[in-house]
Amino acid sequence: MDITTETIRSLKEKYAAEDISPAEVLDALEARIKSTEPTVQGYLRRDLGKARRKALDADTSLPLGGIPIAIKDNINEDGEYCTCASKYLENYLSPYNATVIDRLHAAGAFTYGRTNMDEFAMGSSTEYSAFQTTRNPWDQTRIPGGSSGGSAAVVGARSAIAALGSDTGGSIRQPAALCGCVGMKPSYGMVSRFGLVAFASSLDQIGSFTRTVEDNAMVLQAIAGYDPMDNTSNRRDVPDLCADIGKDIKGLRIGVPKEYFGKGIDPAVAAKVKSAIDWYQNEGAEVVDISLPHTEHAIAVYYIIATAEASSNLARFDGVRYGYRSSEAKDAMSTYFLSREEGFGAEVKRRIILGTYVLSSGYYDAYYNRAQKVRALMKQDFDRAFEQCDLVVTPTSPTVAFKSGEKLDDPLQMYLADVFTIAANAAGICGISLPCGFNSEDLPVGLQLMGPAYGEATMYQAAHAYEQAHDWWKTVPSIS
C-alpha cells in the first residue's frame, strides 16, 4: 500500500476486501508523517497511539470506519489541547467534544492529530500562528494559505487522508487551492458550530480537506445535520451528498461571473480556470455569462462584519476563567488589559480593535449597519445568478501560494488574498476548491465551484466529473 495515493473510498474498499487493516494504515500514515513533517510542520500535536488502540476493534463497515482524520486546532476534542494557535490558549484542554468530533467518531473515524492555523483563524497564510511556521508542501519558501493552513498542508503533503478545518472567509478553500487538495465550505447551518471556537459566528462553518471530491462528500455526510446545541443549525434534512456523483453533467448550467476575471488576477491562474470552463462546455454543460455586481465590496463587507463579530466573541478571553492570565495582573482591569495584551498576537489585536471601532458609538451605522446591507445585496446577486445557472465557477484565489513573509507587514494586502472566497460566506452558500493544474513553477491552482444553499450534491457532481477527467489530484508533491 502506498499511503500517498489512497483515498477514503479506496481504503474502504480495501478494508471490505480485507486486503488491509486500520492498524496498517496508521503505520503507513505515521511513516509518511515522519518523512514530511520536519519540512511541512502542519501538525501542532499528534498521537497515533490512541488511534491504534481504537484500530484494534474498529468497525470498518461504518461510513468512515477506520479512517484517520486530522483536526484543526480550533475544534474542541475532549481531553485534547485546543489552542487556536494562540499563546492565550496554549494550555487549554477541551472539556467536551464539538458535535463534529462526536459525529466523526460515531461514523467510525479516528482523530489523532491537531493542525496548525492562523491564531483564532485570523489570517490567510498561517503565519500568524503563535507556535510554528507551516510550509507549503509544493515549495518550502511559500505559505500554505490560511487560516486552516495546517490542515491543507498535511492533506496536500499526503501526510493526512483528510482533515477538518473552518472557513469564515475562505479559510478552507484558499489553503486547499494553494496546497493542491480539495477543500469545501458547506452551506451555513448545515454543520454544527458547537465546539468550534467562535471567530465570526454568522460566517463560520466547519468543512473538510480531502484528496478527492468524493471523499469530501463522505466526510460532510458524516458531520452534517441539525444540532440542537447550535442555535443557528439548520433543521433542513441533509440530502444524500454522493447521490449525483458520477452522473453525467450534460445540460448543467455553469455561471461565469465577469467580476472574478478582472484586474489583480494572476494570468496563469485565469488561464487554468478558463481551461476548466472550456472542459465543462466540451462535456455538454451550458456555460452562462453572469454578473455578481457587488463582488467589489466583498472584502470591505467581510472585514467589517467579521471583525465586529470577533471583537464580541473574543471578549470572553478576559484572563479570569480560562486561558492566559498575566503574571502582572493586580486587579480586575489589569487582568483584562494585560492578559489580552500578552496573550493575543498582533493580527488578533488588530482585528479586535477594528471590530470595536466599527461598532463604537457614532460609527455603527456608517460601518456595521451599512456592511450588513451590502451583504444583503451580495446575497441578492447570488439569488439572481442561481436563477440563470446551477453553479458558479471562479478561481479560488487570485494567485498561487505567495512567499513567506511577503504580506506580513501589510494586512490589507493579506486580506485581498480572500477576494474570491468571501462572497460564499457572506451569502451563506456552499463552495468547493479543487485542483485544476499547476503554473510554470509547479505550484497548484484551485478551481472554485459555488452552489446555492444546500446545493452540495450538484456541486460535488460537477467537481467530481472534472477531477476524474484529469490527473491533477493524483500528483504527489516531492518533499525533501
Partner 1 sequence: MSVEKIDVHYVAKLARIELTEDETEAFGKQLHDIVAYVQQLDTADISLIPESHLDDHTSGNHLRADIACPGLPCEKVLQNAPAAVDGEIVMPKIVE
Choose one: 7-15, 122-130, 251-259, 410-418; the region binding partner 1 (CB under 8 A): 410-418
Q: Show contacts with partner 1 in window 370-399 (CB under 8 A).
A: 370-377, 379
Q: Which residues contact 387 (CB under 8 A, 6 or more apart)?
A: none
**171 catalytically annotated:** yes
Q: Show contacts with partner 1 in window 221-250 (CB under 8 A).
A: 228, 231-236
Q: Which of 28, 300, 408, 476 binds partner 1 (CB under 8 A)?
A: 300
Q: How many residues make contact with partner 1 (CB under 8 A)?
A: 72
Q: Does 87 bind partner 1 (CB under 8 A)?
A: no
**72 catalytically annotated:** yes
Rounded to 5°, angle at Cα 462 from 75 and 472 = 75
Q: Which of 4, 35, 140, 202 binds partner 1 (CB under 8 A)?
A: 202
Q: Show contacts with partner 1 in window 450-469 (CB under 8 A).
A: 453
Q: Which of 321, 387, 440, 478 binds partner 1 (CB under 8 A)?
A: 321
Q: Residues 404-408: contacts with CB within 8 Å, 24+ apart?
A: 404/125, 404/127, 404/133, 404/135, 404/141, 404/142, 404/143, 405/127, 406/143, 407/124, 407/125, 408/125, 408/127
Closer residue to partner 1 (CB): 19 or 341: 341
Choose one: 110-118, 125-133, 176-184, 327-335; the region binding partner 1 (CB under 8 A): 327-335
Question: What is the C-alpha separation between 227 and 196, in angstroms, rounded?
Answer: 13
Strand partners, 448: 394, 433
Question: What is the C-alpha separation between 227 and 158, in angstroms, rounded?
Answer: 32
Q: Show contacts with partner 1 in window 337-376 (CB under 8 A).
A: 337-338, 340-341, 344, 346, 349-350, 352-354, 356-357, 360, 367, 370-376
**147 catalytically annotated:** yes
Report phi then psi at 80, rounded to 5: -105, 150
Which x/- pattern over 155-194 shows residues binding partner 1 (rule: CB under 8 A)? ---------------------------------xx-----
Q: Are strands 391-395 and 444-451 parallel, antiparallel or unpaired?
A: antiparallel
Q: Show contacts with partner 1 in window 423-442 (CB under 8 A).
A: 427-429
- Evaluate whether 193 touches 187 at the Cβ level (below 8 Å): no
Nearest approach, Cβ of residue 401 and partner 1 (Å): 24
- As separate numbers, helices (DSSP H) first and strands (DSSP E) second, the chain gives 15, 11
Q: Which residues are catalytic?
A: 72, 147, 171
